[in-house]
Amino acid sequence: MSENLLENASASGVFHLATTQQATIEMAAHQADLCVLTADIAKHTSTQDVLLQLGSALNFPSWYGNNFDALYDCLTDPDWHPAKGHVLFINGITRLRASQPADFATLIEVLQAAAEDRRNAHTPFWILIDAPARGIPMLAEA
């Protein structure tokens, strides 16, 4: 993947990316001068713990309420992490899918809505999850 694709806001969104490709994408993101953040949620099975870990790993502000609405609000807030664009790696997502399938689906919906909001604002915003999910395409090498 070239950093040029990562800079293309209209192509950004939520994608599945194998963890073996993460270092390559991270390097391309840095070359494109995008903010790179990683959240590892593998140790958490409860939705509350996953949301708490996401807030911590992504350095959300103190008002973050550890719920899906607050997650969306933080991800779409231009003051959250001012940058040219963002690449978020969310690793360990399969555990939530296995333990809380309905909340896993809601999390995917929130991530997609946030990515769409940023895409509409012409800001590259890539959310890369480490497991396949219904409706989430694989990020292909470009």
Which residue segments constitute the domains of the chain, with CATH numbers given? 3-129 (3.30.370.10)
Enumerate the H helices of the chain as residue ranges: 3-7, 22-31, 47-57, 68-76, 94-99, 101-120
The predicted model scores a pTM of: 0.93
pLDDT per residue as tens digits for the range 33-68: 999 999 999 999 899 999 999 999 999 999 999 999
Using a pLDDT cut of 90, give the percent of the chain over it. Answer: 83
Low-confidence stretches of the chain (pLDDT < 50) are: 141-142
pLDDT score at 7: 87
CA dist., res. 88 & res. 46, Å (int): 21
pLDDT score at 142: 37
Mean pLDDT of the chain: 92
